Amino acid sequence: MLNFVTTNPGKVREATAYLDDEVVQFDFDYPEVQADDLGTVAAHGARAAYRAADGPVIVDDAGLFIDAFDGFPGPYSSYVEDRVGIERVWRLTEPEDDHGAAFKTVIAYCDGEEFAATPEPIDREERRGQDLAADDRGGATTDEQVAGGEDALPVKLFEGRVPGDIVAPRGDGGFGYDPIFEHGGTTFAEMSTDEKNAVSHRGRALAKFAEWHAGR
């Protein structure tokens, strides 16, 4: 059983569709550290939640990185969705020449146990040929960087990224910024959960997590 630490049922729906393990939403509003790096935020959340939960936890910190705005709103995506709204994020992007963007997520796993001595580097294969400038703001995270102090609980990180374009809202599935994020001609809100998982940032991070977790 895995506790998915989030206030967002959409994330749990996607993890449930992807993973063989039983996934339970653990509605714990962990104190988000103010950091430009998704991995740091997720790792802190996982440690705090593990202490409050009864069993292994995963935390998923995600963001939308818009190229024309040098990666904004990135780690501040939740705040911007609440205060500005996705329709106005589209309106702000519309006059720009470049509508490119990327969704990125970092999943942090903690079960209170140590991991193998050598953390695997985060797979950056999918970044080839991309302009990394905006995305790097979201964090070049490794387990080592977020290892924390000597008595900090070990946390394992899994990163996923997907490129796309900001478009006028279409579709009523998904959640958050999905209606304004187009990938391969379709917005994430026009996809089923399985279709989105097959290409999304979260699907990619979940795939890495599932592969690693199966061997644990």
Ligand X SMILES: O=P(O)(O)OP(=O)(O)OP(=O)(O)OC[C@H]1O[C@@H](n2cnc3c(O)ncnc32)[C@H](O)[C@@H]1O
Residue 152: CB atoms within 10 A of its CB come to: 12
Residue 170 in contact with residue 122, Cβ under 8 Å?
no
State which of residues 12, 23, 57, 61 lies at the interface with ligand X (CB under 6 A): 61
* Closer residue to ligand X in complex, CB, 118/164: 164
What residues from 180 to 209 belong to the interface with ligand X (CB under 6 A)? 188, 200, 202
CA 110 to chain centre: 16
Amino acid identity of 127?
A: R
Q: Which is nearer to ligand X, 56 or 176 (CB)?
A: 176
Q: Is the CB of 3 or the CB of 200 nearer to ligand X?
A: 200
Please identify, among the stretches 17-25, 125-133, 162-170, 175-183, the one whose residues bind ligand X according to the rule CB under 6 A. 175-183
Q: Which of 60, 24, 55, 63 is nearest to 42 (CA)?
A: 60
Are residues 104 and 159 in contact, defined by beta-carbon separation less than 8 angstroms? Answer: yes
Q: Is there binding between residue 77 and ligand X (CB under 6 A)?
A: yes
Instruction: Point out the catalytic residue in the list 60, 61, 67, 143.
Output: 61
The set of residues, in sequence order, having a beta carbon less than 8 Å from that of 99 and lying 6+ positions away, is 68, 93, 165, 166, 167
**Binding string, 78-117, against ligand X, x = CB under 6 A?**
x--x---------------------x--------------
Helices 201-214 and 9-18 pack at an angle, to 10 degrees, of 50
Establish whether 67 is a catalytic residue.
no
Contact between 48 and ligand X by CB under 6 A: the answer reads no
Cβ–Cβ contacts within 10 Å for residue 129, how many? 7
Q: Provide the mask over 14-43, with x wherever binding to ligand X is found by CB under 6 A and - wherever it is not.
A: ------------------------------
User: Which listed residue (143, 159, 178, 182) binds ligand X by CB under 6 A?
Assistant: 178
38: closest CA among 138, 167, 108, 133?
Answer: 138
Q: Which residues are catalytic?
A: 61
Under the rule (CB under 6 A), what is the footprint of ligand X? 6-8, 11, 60-64, 77-78, 81, 103, 174-178, 188, 200, 202
